Amino acid sequence: MAIPLEMLRRPADFAALQQHGTSRAHPLVVVRTVRNGLERTRFAFSTSRRLGGAVIRNRVRRRLREIVRSLAGRVEPGWDVLIVARPGCAAASYAELRDVVARLFGRAGILRPQRDSA
């Protein structure tokens, strides 16, 4: 069963991200983060029409949600995170996209270091 993600929904939360958030960018994805003062991390995804039609935008959102779920155990609590897909994102492989998102989360300081399982 998939891990449920808490999503950002209120316009005020998006406004706080725009006003006070910090961005980390890559040609495929932009990650914008801001502390939310809560015990949990909330996520939002933005896929514009520049990506392509509805089928492509939905596929990109599904991939990004799954990537965030796979990283959720390592994400620090107390953040609001907006992931903005750029046009190159639609043609990127899942592995490439996962590496980019993990790297940007690390640069944003919201990702705990990975533990060795040895």
Please name the fold of domain 11-108: Ribosomal Protein S5; domain 2 (3.30.230)
Residue spans of the domains in the chain: they are 11-108
Report the 10 Å Cβ neighbour count for 1: 3
Question: Which residue's structure tokens are 């959720």?
Answer: 72
Query: What pLDDT does residue 14 have?
Result: 87
Residue 113 predicted with pLDDT over 90:
no
At 58, which amino acid appears? N
Would the pLDDT of 117 be above 80?
Answer: no
Query: pLDDT (tens digit, 9 = 90+) per residue, 7-28?
Result: 999 999 888 898 999 999 999 9
Mean pLDDT in the chain? 91
Q: What percent of the chain has pLDDT over 70?
A: 94
Q: Is residue 98 pLDDT above 90, yes or no?
A: yes
Q: Which of helix, strand or coil describes residue 33?
A: strand
C-alpha to C-alpha distance for 73 and 50, rounded to whole angstroms: 31
Mean pLDDT of 40-47: 94
